[in-house]
Structure 1
Amino acid sequence: MSAGRCHTRLQDVLQAAGSARDVFLQITASRAESEAAHSLQSAGKLAGVAFAVKDVFDVRGTRTSGGSQLFDHRPPAMADAAAVARLSAAGGVLVGKTTLSELAYSGLGVNERFGTPTMRIAGKDHLVGGSSSGSAAAVRAGIVSLALASDTSGSTRIPAAWTGVFGFRPTLDRYPRLGMMALARSLDAVGVVAASLALINTADEVLADDHTALDPPRSPPPFVVPAHDQLLSCDPRVTGRFLETIEHLRQLGLRIHQRPLASLDAVRSMHQRHLPIVEAEALRAFGTYLALHPDRLGPAVRSRLESAGRNSHHRSARPLVAAMPSLRAQFRRELGRCLLLIPPVEIDPPQLAEAQTIEAQTTLNHRALRLPMIFSYLDAPSLVLPVGQQGPGSPRCLQVTGASGHDRRVLHAALHLQSAVPSHPSPSFKGESR
């Protein structure tokens, strides 16, 4: 592409980002122009690829807000977060920073102060999911083709599933976390949202600094699907779409077995009995603000922190932390040579009108996080793969998951799945023409 066409394309991207007020918190126009000019001579794997960054990552010269009023007076970052630096070094062009659930502490993507991205389904506004709401929205709207996200209990996978784009949570320390605002360090992972599986793969190679990636095997691995009773908490529509997709894959010749995985039940049981790790570590990170600056916390986050404080008096997260290594080993044994196929989220995207009270947000948030949270505890690399659309605006997605450290196996398996069941467009965003 000529320098003139590249400049025109970048100006279109920056204009679109600036118009998406519920998606972008900051536009990095000067940096984007500089990086775009450099990318014309770059041989990097992401040369010329426009990307956005969830505002939990430091970007040199910008304030990292975490989507919260708490940090209105924080000074600009002196350096890029390590993940941001790697994308830029590979030729990526940073367009701006995206909105999120406050402090990345919700799976819904609601942020009353900084913006709540929505999408139109059957003529009504629906939530895009969170906490990486802006990253998924920016990719789905076509403003950028790649975005950095974070994932503690599903914050990359939920918005990817609800918007019908690709989303990947890697093994915990596969990507560098330096310069990323923490919510719960035991579970916080750097995530990636992208418009294509090819970009997810390229971003993985760049972020993991993995130069030894092998070509995917010629035949897909065997897959396992949880027993029916382990899917009972999913909405019937979610389960129905999932089972239809699984049956279609079987008819195409993929080896898919259905059997119970005790590790999934064990994680869920322990999570119910003990103080969730996210509650304990979020309280440790931000609980002091309940006394110091409660007026600077949004009502939903304030309510969650207060609830965590009450729960911490009679429950502890220590048994969960201590059990994670053995649970992860159990999951690895149960999978064997297989990879897991499962719905990414138990529920379809709720209407914005259904999330107007703290009580409603609490209930919806619990349901949104309940399934993806399991795989955070298991440190299981998980990819959300769009595989079509059911009816007017209901994304059909699969999550393919492996044991901790098996990131490349998951990504290679996704290539086989995508060739078997191609994806289709997903719901339009508010104001987006179709």
Structure 2
Amino acid sequence: MNDLHATRLDLLAGGTDARTKMERAIDISRSAACQHVFTRTMFDEALQASSTSDPASRLAGLAFTAKDLFDVEGQATPAGSAVLAHAPAAKADSPAVARLRAAGGVLTGRTNMTEFAFSGVGVNPHHGTPANASDPAVPRIPGGSSSGAAVSVASGAAFIGLGSDTGGSIRIPAALNGIVGFKNTARLTPTAGALPLSTTLDTACAMTRSVRDAITAHEILAARRVTAGNAPLAAYRLAVVKNVFFDGIEPAVANAFERSLKMLRAAGARIVEIELPELAELGAINATGGFSAAESYAWHRLLLERSGAGYDPRVAQRILRGATMKAHEYIDLINARRDWIARVEAVLAPFDAVLSPTVPITAPSIASVAPGAERDEEFFRVNALLLRNPSIVNMLDGCAISLPCQAPGELPVGLMLWHAALHDDAVLAVALQTERALQE
């Protein structure tokens, strides 16, 4: 499946046209592969826009999708919920949507998501759950919360899936669907016009088919240029953190990760193993509920009073945990995080990037975690495993990218490259070289 860059070159060379590509994207969007992917589509408008697009623009009239929590002018912003289905229409596009459109992208639809973005599994009891694109034989979870956005990219329905990442909501579905997901340093991209989960941790970002496409999407969303360079892997110093990230890891994920390290070392990478004992502190730091519970409850409390029966019970349960956090506990959390970040940054300072499994498991079946009280225990077990590794980067206020690293015929496995805040360009530079090494 060609990425955005290759397709754009084909357009410029006259080998195809944007309308033809849009017709193909819409056909896929309407197929069984994209069942439950969209909460709303704009196919007629998309065909018209692609017909008059500029092939020299950065996105060249090609398809992108937007997670259901981003404002689109003239539409409600339900965020995967039933209780906001009839909310007032947005008066303008969110900056993220507007920037992708201004760069020549064509929005084909709003994508399904975990209700209010509060889960890494991707199950939605209101709109159905889109099946992972990797396994047509067994309907597997897509990962969340940007579930539909991931499947839209992995299936070929879009080149860019705009989403958000609060504790892994871009990287988890990217890893489980075998695509690329880049979570930039949060402050670099605007979250205005996006319904919040945690104003402290939310990041507007995207999933793509390649690292070079991830760079393009980030440059558009952040209105900045990435300086990635073209240095070989040997020019970078990389670390592997051995504690926490590998707890409960499935053999398939462990094997794919170790195979990836072997391939990177063969390509010249200098990789050292380090301990990061500060990770053991996160449980105590977040013991009173963490930022997502407190900040989501602040936003939802009145809506819960009016319409709580309409919420996904699993989501409501997590939001309501924020009701018990006291003001001094929230301030203590802010201060503890600031101190923790400083100490972790000091440990990571000698390195250009850290390598970890994005998540420690492959995608389980939808049936095993589908809505129902009898499956709640398994749902929350899977959710905790999926969020554990990527959420460390959010707590660090860092940046991270997930790349597919499985062998042909295997279920998708994500390799995460990450670092502290504002190391985005270095992480992307290493990711470019890593992607090449893994594909050789």
Give the corresponding residue for 1:420.
437
Q: Distance in 1 between matches of 2:274 and 2:204?
A: 31
Q: Is the 8 A contact 2:22 2:62 kept in 1?
A: no
Tell me the residue number matched to 2:8: none
Quickly say closer, same or farther: Cα 1:212–1:346, change in 2 above 3 A: closer
- Of residues 400, 412, 415, the one that matches 1:395 is 412
Structure 1 residue 209: Cα displacement: 1.1
8 Å contact 2:175–2:358 — kept in the other structure? yes
- SS of the counterpart of 2:90? coil
Q: What residue is the counterpart of 1:368 in the other structure?
A: 386
Match status 1:47 vs 2:60 = yes
Matches within 5 A, 1:278-427: 278-309=292-323, 312=325, 316-338=329-351, 339-356=353-370, 357-389=375-407, 392-422=409-439
* C-alpha separation in 2, matches of 1:160 and 1:24: 17
Give the 3-state SS of the residue equivalent to 1:410 in structure 2: helix
Native 8 Å contact 2:205 2:218 kept in 1: no
Deviation sequence 1:172-211 (CA, Å, 0-9, x none): 1111111111011000001210011111011111111114
- In the other structure, the counterpart of 1:105 is 118
C-alpha distance in structure 1 between counterparts of 2:415 and 2:387, whole Å: 16
CA RMSD of aligned residues (A): 2.3
The 1:365–1:169 alpha-carbon spacing in structure 2 relative to 1, beyond 3 Å, is same
Kept in 1: contact 2:362–2:413 (CA 8 A): no
Instruction: Map residues 12-411 of structure 1 onto 2, 5 A cutoff.
Output: 12-19=24-31, 20-40=34-54, 43-119=56-132, 121=135, 123-211=137-225, 213=227, 215-219=229-233, 220-228=235-243, 231-271=246-286, 273-309=287-323, 312=325, 316-338=329-351, 339-356=353-370, 357-389=375-407, 392-411=409-428
**Contact persistence 2:162–2:207 (CA under 8 A):** yes
Distance 1:212 1:206 in 2: 10
* Cα distance in 2, alignment partners of residues 248 and 196 from structure 1: 19
Q: Secondary structure at the match of 2:109?
A: strand
TM-score by length of 2: 0.89
Residues 279 and 305 of structure 1 are in contact (CA less than 8 Å); yes or no, is this contact kept in structure 2? yes
* Partner SS state of residue 371, structure 1: helix
Matched residue type, 1:255: R
TM-score scaled to structure 1, two decimals? 0.90
Amino acid of the structure 1 residue aligned with 2:21:
R
Contact map agreement 2:358 2:416 (CA 8 A) in 1: yes
Are the counterparts in 2 of residues 52 and 147 from structure 1 also a CA contact under 8 Å?
yes
Query: Secondary structure of the residue that 2:164 maps to in structure 1?
Result: strand
Aligned partner of residue 94 in structure 1, secondary structure: strand
Q: Which runs of 5+ in 1 are unaligned?
A: 424-434
Give the match's secondary structure for 1:72. Answer: coil
SS in 1 for 2:367: helix
User: What letter corresponds to residue 414 of structure 2 in structure 1?
Assistant: C
Counting aligned pairs with the same residue, the percent is: 31
Question: Contact 2:256/2:406 (CA < 8 Å) preserved in 1?
Answer: no
**For residue 380 of structure 1, what is the amino acid of its counterpart?**
G
Distance 1:363 1:27, change over 3 A: same
Q: Give the drift of 1:53.
A: 0.5
- Asked whether the equivalents of residues 122 and 393 of structure 1 are also in contact (C-alpha less than 8 Å), the reply is no
Q: Which amino acid aligns with 2:428?
A: L
Instruction: Report the CA distance between 1:31 and its aligned residue.
Output: 3.4
CA contact (8 A) 1:3 1:37 kept: no
Does the aligned pair in 2 maintain the 1:274–1:315 contact within 8 Å? no
Query: Separation in 2 of the partners of 1:89 and 1:407?
Result: 23
1:318 is paired with a residue whose SS is: helix
Q: Encode CA deviations 1:260-287: one digit per residue, 9 max, x unaligned.
A: 023333334423x332111111111113
After superposition, the C-alpha distances for 1:280-323 in whole angstroms (9 at most, x for unaligned) are 111111133332212221222123234444x5379934322222
Q: Distance in 2 between matches of 1:315 and 1:113?
A: 36
Q: What one-letter code is carried by the residue in structure 2 that aligns with 1:35?
A: A
Superposed CA deviations along residues 41-80 of structure 1, whole A, max 9, x for unmatched, are: x532222221110011111122211000111211221111
Give the residue type in structure 2 aligned to 1:115.
Answer: G
Q: Indicate conservation of the 8 Å contact 2:71/2:77, yes or no.
A: yes
CA contact (8 A) 1:35 1:92 kept: no
Q: Distance in 2 between matches of 1:140 and 1:111?
A: 19
- Indicate the SS of the match to 1:127: coil
Of the structure 1 ranges 235-244 and 77-86, higher mean CA displacement relative to structure 2 is found in 235-244
Instruction: Give the residue type in structure 2 aligned to 1:147.
Output: G
Q: Which residue of 1 aligns with 2:6?
A: none
* In structure 1, distance between residues paired with 2:251 and 2:58: 42
Secondary structure at 2:412's aligned position in 1?
strand
| Gap change, CA 1:393 and 1:314, over 3 Å in 2 | farther
In structure 2, relative to structure 1, the CA distance for the partners of 1:288 and 1:227 (3 Å cut) is same
Give the letter for the 2:281 counterpart.
A
- Contact 1:221/1:337 (<8 A) preserved: no
Give the length in aligned residue pairs. 419
